[in-house]
A and B are shown apart, each in its own frame.
Chain A
């Protein structure tokens, strides 16, 4: 069972200090974390989520992703990335594609 390490607290602090933009490897880590959360919350296979790209449609296209699952999905993303998502930020656009969800999470990640 593959797992993905959360962004370490130390890394977050360093980024906060230096004010650096999100590095490519951090973005890759957020991408793989969001992928793992979709697998775990929706019960999708490893192969299926591995095939997701930025244009893969999510909300409305995955029958598993109902409003209850959205709640679980957001909470898991928050916990694993150490971010906070306000409920009024959640809209159809951020959940439209895999790419939009990763971009949303990356924008919330400490840098």
Chain B
């Protein structure tokens, strides 16, 4: 787990997107964390089970177990600071269980949208027979390897019904790219790095998002 910034105060717990998009946005997320540190805001970037340096195989993971792992990170961070969830893309689906002081989402996806992307990538890469529906992923006995990521039927079933956390009374802020017509608190210019085959970075966007996160946490902290 990477840690940035001061040892006390609010802590942004950053969740990378699931699967292949994590590789494409990791450098970008680290740039956001460094920019937060410059503004005096602490952050952590955990590898959840099935992600990055984790030794747990992704094939054994369900969304629920990853959410529980994120709850564990929140509980640990909560002993030293006040945790705020920062979710990038499908990373925004990982934070419903922890007692976060607030949630900040960038270009978040509902579980259904994640599954739609996965199905399309699986079809394009011939991981499943052409003409297959999402039930080829949900009903498969063995994990389906999609762009190098083994997705179990339990993970697929979890994802298909997964919703973004949005409960009254808990601060939530959503930021999207201005090319994304879905509703958001703010639309910003930038590049959808999660679509790029070669990992890339967008430092201007990272700085802009870090400023938005820092200002929003300051508002939540009152």
Contacts and interface: CB of A to CB of B under 8 A. Distances in A.
B2 interface: no
B124 A5 contact: no
A41 B189 contact: no
Contact of A5 (B120, B130, B178, B195): B178
Q: Chain A interface residue count: which class?
A: 20 to 34
Main SS class of interface, B: loop
B179 A67 contact: no
A57 interface: no
Contacts of B166: none
B131 interface: yes
B181 A82 contact: yes
A46 B119 CA distance: 30
A43 B198 contact: yes
B179 A40 contact: yes
Interface residues of B, number: 28
Interface in B1-53: none
Nearest to B118: A71
Contacts of B181: 6, 9, 79-80, 82
Given A36-B179, A41-B196, A71-B123, 19 more contacts: A1-B190, A1-B191, A1-B204, A3-B179, A5-B178, A9-B181, A40-B195, A42-B197, A43-B200, A64-B197, A67-B126, A71-B121, A73-B195, A75-B120, A76-B192, A76-B195, A79-B179, A79-B182, A87-B120
Interface of A: 1, 3-6, 9, 36, 40-43, 64, 66-76, 79-80, 82, 87-88
Q: Which 3 residue pairs across A and B have the least CB separation, nearest first?
A: A6-B181, A67-B124, A72-B195
